Amino acid sequence: MIHLSIWGKALTGMPRLSDEQWHQLDWFGRWLISVRASVLIMTFSSSILAGLLAWYFSTLDWGLWCLVTLGLCLAHATNNLINDATDYWRGVDDDRYMRNQYGVQPLTRGLMSGVDMLLQIGLTGMAALGIGLLLLWLRGELVLPLLAAGCFFVLFYTWPLKKWGLGEPAVLLVWGPLMVGGGFYVVSGQWSWLVAVVSIAYALGPTSVLFGKHLDKRAADAAKGVRTLPVILGEARARSWVKAMTLAQYCIPSVLVFSGQLPWPILLIALAFRSAYALWRACSYPLPDHKPERFPQRIWPLWFSAFAFAHTRVYGAWLFAGLGIALLLQ
């Protein structure tokens, strides 16, 4: 039976379902929840940014852009599945681990067998790889290093990169130069270092989301031997890094605008200051021991990551609006 309401909830958040509700879902609803579809918006946004930049600075092939967008989202979905499977089989995810408190972890809950998970990983990954190979055929051998890098990060993000404190730098590279810079190349046919720099400003958003999530579960990760950067740095310094990354998201585009390399409507990102301030303020204090009174129950125990995710969405929206206006004025 198709549950459109659950599809909507899975695309906008991480619904908490009972075992009975899970078993009543259609296969696509289960897939959306398993891949944590709500966070794929960050990947979709990277592709939007690549397309808008190609449209402004060069040319945009809409067919290629659609393929890039679908391929990137499927690759991200594959990574999320591999992450859950690897953490479960390595004994990181259990019924007390934070992953099970903010969403459904099908393996830990016993809602999905290992074979079913491998089947989801295989089908989703093969679909992503198939699109990558099609783009390689359409655009030529320069797509090969981008495809190889994407496969590397999908396969090895959870282990060993995340365990060695390299997960956060990996996200910065993937959501920036790889997705935006690589996407720009595929849809426009040329590489741009300016686009790569702009991509870093945007990618600091998803990186701050990951920093925030790892801050939220720093104690649990440390107990499990997962040495994310917040575990290595300690909470106070990790919170300072998030604040610095947020500041850089505004400084980098501003410098590029005032140096004449980006159009002035990009400065509309200043309208995201209110959300940035909320994130900055949250990162100025330690993680609360209990859910603050007015904080949504459906989001808790996510705290730093919730503020970072909200800021990333608002920042991206105003960045896209600025580029859209620049296109109209061109």
**Residues of the chain above pLDDT 70, percent:** 95
Provide the pLDDT for residue 2: 63
- Provide the residue type at 135 as one letter: L
Provide the pLDDT for residue 255: 97
Distance in angstroms (rounded) separating the CA atoms of residues 210 and 151: 20
Provide the pLDDT for residue 330: 81
pTM, rounded to two decimals: 0.89
Distance in angstroms (rounded) separating the CA atoms of residues 110 and 158: 21
Smallest CA-to-CA distance from 324 within 52, 5, 45, 43 is with 52
Q: Please count the other Cβ atoms lying within 10 Å of the Cβ belonging to residue 53.
A: 24
Provide the pLDDT for residue 5: 73
Q: Which of 13-17, 140-144, 214-218 has the highest average model confidence (pLDDT)?
A: 214-218
**For 134-150, what is the mean pLDDT?**
91
Provide the pLDDT for residue 95: 55
Provide the pLDDT for residue 126: 96
pLDDT digits (tens, 9 = 90+) for 199-208: 999 999 999 9
pLDDT digits (tens, 9 = 90+) for 268-284: 999 999 999 999 999 99
CA 138 to chain centre: 27
pLDDT digits (tens, 9 = 90+) for 170-197: 999 999 999 999 999 999 988 999 999 9
Provide the pLDDT for residue 299: 80
Q: What is the DSSP letter of 267?
A: G
Question: Quick one: tokens of 252?
Answer: 């980098």
Mean pLDDT, the chain, rounded, equals 89
Q: Where are the alpha helices (DSSP H) in the chain?
A: 4-12, 19-24, 27-34, 41-57, 62-89, 106-109, 114-139, 143-156, 167-173, 182-188, 193-216, 218-224, 229-233, 235-258, 273-282, 304-329
Distance in angstroms (rounded) separating the CA atoms of residues 1 and 126: 26
pLDDT digits (tens, 9 = 90+) for 302-323: 899 999 999 999 999 999 999 9
- 3-class DSSP state for residue 107? helix
Domain ranges (residues) in the chain? 35-329
The secondary element (H helix, E strand) that includes residue 284 is: none
